Amino acid sequence: MIVHYKTTLTDEAATQALGKCLALALEPGLRIYLHGDLGAGKTALTRSLIHAAGHTGHVKSPTYTLAEPYPIRLAQHEVFIMHFDLYRMGSAEEFLDAGFREEFNERNICIVEWPEKAAGVLPAPDLHIFLSIAGEGREVELQALSDKGNACLALLRFAPNL
């Protein structure tokens, strides 16, 4: 089962709208992997998702820490959104040594920028998001690989500006 959804994000507000929309589909254990060049909008999308999920503080790009946890409340339970940016990761061993693999459990929501850097050790995602620069805006393609991923895509149909 693979389901696609493709659209144009004409400006940053559209990227933020997508992040907000995806926040409505969060559930424990959800994994979203973000693909795209430097500056494609992976962090911008994640930031709006984390804010829409209820985090009121700053969301920085985890460029040096590689991972940043955000506690949020989801249906009366505290869960973590783990935001990874693996761009600077040297090897798959580094990923394992840092204990990152254990973060991909049934509770945590994991959002990963540059998942390619941990190919072979990352578990499968529920949703792939491919972002690419297109003129002044961005093209985005979402690919669901599970029921959880499909639930994300189902919500996009009701987003007014996507």
Task: Give the per-residue contact string, 47-76, with Mg ion (x = CB under 5 A; - = no).
Answer: --------------x---------------
| Residue 43 in the binding site for ligand ATP (CB under 6 A) | yes
Contacts with Mg ion: how many residues (CB under 5 A)?
4
By CB under 5 A, is residue 138 in contact with Mg ion?
A: no
Show the tokens assigned to 47.
């930031």
Which range binds ligand ATP by CB under 6 A, 22-30, 39-47, 66-74, 152-160? 39-47
DSSP 161: T
HSE (CB half, 13 Å, CA atoms) of 51? 15
Residue 25 near residue 53 (C-beta atoms within 8 A): no
Cα–Cα distance for residue pair 30/112, rounded to 1 Å: 11
Q: How far is CA 122 from CA 21, 34, 118, 142, in A?
A: 25, 13, 6, 19
User: Which residue in the set 35, 83, 138, 148 belongs to the binding site for ligand ATP (CB under 6 A)?
Assistant: 138
Looking at 36, 62, 115, 125, which residue binds ligand ATP (CB under 6 A)?
Answer: 36
CA distances (Å), 147 to each of 30, 40, 152, in order? Answer: 10, 27, 9
Binders of ligand ATP among residues 87 to 116 (CB under 6 A) are: 87, 113
6: left (phi over 0), alpha (psi -120 to 50) or beta: beta
Q: Per CB under 5 A, does 83 bind Mg ion?
A: no
- Residue from 5, 7, 12, 20 touching ligand ATP (CB under 6 A): that is 12
Of the pair 35, 42, the CB lying nearest Mg ion is at: 42
Could you list the residues that contact ligand ATP (CB under 6 A)? 9, 11-12, 14-15, 36, 38-44, 61, 85, 87, 113, 136-138
